[in-house]
Amino acid sequence: MDKLRWQEDATPLWDDETPERLATLLNKKFQSFLGNEGFTVEAERNDVFVQVRTTLAARDGTMSYPIEALLPRDGAKESDVEDLALLMVDYLDVYWNEYLSSGRETYLPLDWSKHGCDGQEFYLRGFVRNPTAEALADALFREYGVGEHAIESISPET
């Protein structure tokens, strides 16, 4: 199996309308837990993986919690790809319910962890970010440098 990583060269699975409808459903379902936040949904595929990302983000840019799901295709037929993506969306819906109803105390690991549903195995990871603070830090590093020590990325994807 290929190394687990979000596939930047993947092809969108759906037209623009389907992810918007799924995000609208998540926003309506969880609206009592959401303040100035909303969901987005992405689904993509290539020859190796089917991948889904659902993100809960503050509209002011101060918080973003993307959860990524990868399912190795392992010979899955092209006709099954959409069903596999929807299975992962359903699984992530259950996670979001647990996360939001627990007072946001349930987190996924930063690194890929194996999960299963309906006989399919896939991998999840999630990480809470603050895009506004990250942009400010990047601007400071660009202006003033990083000091005596080079700062290395935790992974090649960050």
Which pLDDT tens digit goes with each residue over 46-65?
A: 988 999 999 999 999 999 99
Q: Is there a domain that residue 5 lies in? A: no
Please indicate, yes or no, if residue 137 is contained in any of the structural domains: yes
pLDDT exceeds cutoff 70 at 156: no
Residue 81: inside a domain: yes
Cβ atoms of residues 129 and 64 within 8 Å = yes
127/18 Cα distance (integer angstroms): 24
Q: How far is CA 153 from CA 16, 57, 85, 150, 157, in A?
A: 32, 23, 30, 10, 8
Helix (H) or strand (E) holding 70: strand 64-72
Grade residue 109 by pLDDT with cuts at 50, 70 and 90. Answer: confident
For residue 107, tell me if it sits in a domain: yes
Q: Is residue 3 part of a domain?
A: no
Tell me how many domains the chain contains. Answer: 1
Q: Comparing C-alpha atoms, which of 104, 93, 46 is closest to residue 70?
A: 46
Q: Who has greater pLDDT, 97 or 110?
A: 97
What does the pLDDT read at residue 143? 80
Higher pLDDT, 149 or 124: 124
149 has a pLDDT exceeding 90: no
Classify residue 72: in a domain, yes or no: yes
Helix then strand then coil, % of the chain, to nearest 5: 30, 25, 40
Contact 85, 13 (CB under 8 A): yes
Mind listing the pLDDT tens digit for each residue in 76-96? 788 889 999 999 999 999 999
Domain-embedded: residue 149: no
Range of the domain at 130: 11-144
Rounded CA gap, 130 and 133, in Å? 5
> pTM for the complete prediction?
0.84
Is 100 a member of any domain? yes
